[in-house]
Amino acid sequence: MDRPVHLTNIFDPVSTPAQAILELSWLVLWICAGIFVIVVGLLTYILIRFRRRRIDTEEPPQVYGSNQIELAWTVLPVLTVVVLFLVTTRTIRAVQNVVPSPDALQVTIVGHQWWWEIRYPTQGIVTANELHVPVSDRARPQATFLRLESVDVVHSFWVPRLAGKIDVVPNRTNTMWIEPFEAGLYLGQCAEYCGTQHANMLLRVVVHTRDDFERWVATQQQPPVRDPAVQAGRDLFQAIACVNCHTVRETLASGTFGPDLSHLMSRATLGAGVVDNTLPNLRAWMQNPQHLKPGNLMPDMKLTPQEMEHIVAYLATLK
Ligand code: CUA
């Protein structure tokens, strides 16, 4: 790609809510810029025009009260605030009061310290840190509706090019929607301080064409690869504590504290965006999870080098 890609630019929206918010922001910015120019202009003029001069010998005329001026500086600001209030309300309503159509894609996003669990209840898919959605076009609008929940502390879901920011609060379900009109990769970030690794609670949104999205869904719905060559690793994985926190479908592993690993290798990063999901990084992560992402909840499993190789070889098959 030739042109630079702005993965997180709020001034370059590619989704309906982000577009509406940007239009409102420009209007507010222009109104405020106008006020700034008028105030600073008048102030500068007065400072220069009425500065103290050597020839000044007596006080200037003293003015007590002016109905015109007082009315002007009361009415104009009130009108300005009313306009700002009305346009803001209009945008908030346009963004919030959208009811999902029956065929809209529904995704549940659960904030964890420090990663995102992403569930597609209708499709039966569970993944992590990568939200995949179809693109919307004029002929076939396709919004994606998100339900946002947290299992621990307050997080905040923010993908600047797709929508505004919304808090992800324990014991509460917030909702938002996106309607991206360009396929591509958009980056997001937890935007509420949630602990040591808040800065490494990253999120990738992959917007696919229709066909690509269908393909992605079909792949994720497949049962995990069962490669006889890595049977030793698979057995070992199921025999140790990995299964308490992670799920690999159709195995004994059904934990829900950590990310679902059924299609681990289909994801681009490890540790919610800390490193690329490559074999060396996967091995480094397994050898000492606290090295790449200090404070994360995955313990060091104290495996022997040989056990480690078996498990890594097994995980590497989970495409
Ligand atoms: Cu989650 Cu900050």
Residues with Cβ within 8 Å of 231's Cβ and at least 6 positions away in sequence, in order, are none
CA of 36 to the centre of ligand 1 (A): 36
Strands 144-150 and 155-158 come out as unpaired
Distance (Å, rounded) from C-alpha 119 to C-alpha 202?
17
Query: In this structure, what DSSP letter does residue 15 have?
Result: B
Using a 10 angstrom Cβ sphere, with 0-12 exposed, 13-18 middle and 19 or more buried, the burial of residue 146 is: buried
192 lines ligand 1 (CB under 6 A): yes
> Which structure tokens are listed for 102?
């029956």
Give Cβ neighbours of residue 315 (< 8 Å, ≥ 6 apart).
233, 237, 261, 264, 265, 282, 286
C-alpha span between 307 and 251 (Å, rounded): 19
CB 318 within 8 A of CB 311: no
Q: How far is the CA of 6 from the centre of ligand 1 (A)?
A: 22
Nearest Cα residue to atom 1 of ligand 1:
155
- Contact 193 CB / ligand 1 (< 6 Å): yes
pLDDT of residue 63: 83
Q: Which structure tokens are listed for 55?
A: 């020839």
Question: Is 198 close to ligand 1, i.e. is its CB under 6 Å away?
Answer: yes
Helix, strand, coil percentages (3-state) for the chain, rounded to 5, are: 40, 20, 40
Number of H helices, E strands in the chain: 8, 12
d(CA 212, CA 203): 20
The CB density around residue 67, as the number of other CB atoms within 10 Å, is: 7
Residue 54 pLDDT: 78
Residue 201, ligand 1, Cβ within 6 A: yes
Residue 188 Cβ contacting ligand 1 at under 6 Å: no
Q: Can you give the pLDDT at residue 6?
A: 67
276 Cα to the center of ligand 1, angstroms: 20
CB distance 109 to ligand 1 below 6 Å: no
- Quick: pLDDT tens for 282-312: 999 988 889 999 989 888 888 888 989 999 9
Residue 10 token pair: 């709020």
Instruction: Point out the ligand 1 atom lying closest to the alpha carbon of residue 192.
Output: 2
Rounded CA-CA distance 197/305 in Å is: 28
pLDDT in tens, 42-91: 999 999 988 887 777 777 788 888 899 899 989 999 999 999 999 999 99
Instruction: Tell me the per-residue pLDDT of 78-98, one tens digit each, with 9 for 90 and over.
Output: 999 999 999 999 999 999 988
Centroid of ligand 1 to alpha carbon of 35 (angstroms): 37
Q: How far, in Å, from the CA of 123 to the mean position of ligand 1?
A: 27
In sequence order, what are the residues at sequence separation of 6 or more whose Cβ sits closer than 8 angstroms to the Cβ of residue 180? 14, 15, 133, 135, 136, 162, 186, 205, 207
The encoded tokens of residue 65 equal: 């009260």
Buried b (16+ CB within 10 A) or exposed e, 198-215: bebbbbbbbbbeeeebee
User: DSSP letter at 62?
Assistant: P
Q: What is the pTM of this model?
A: 0.87
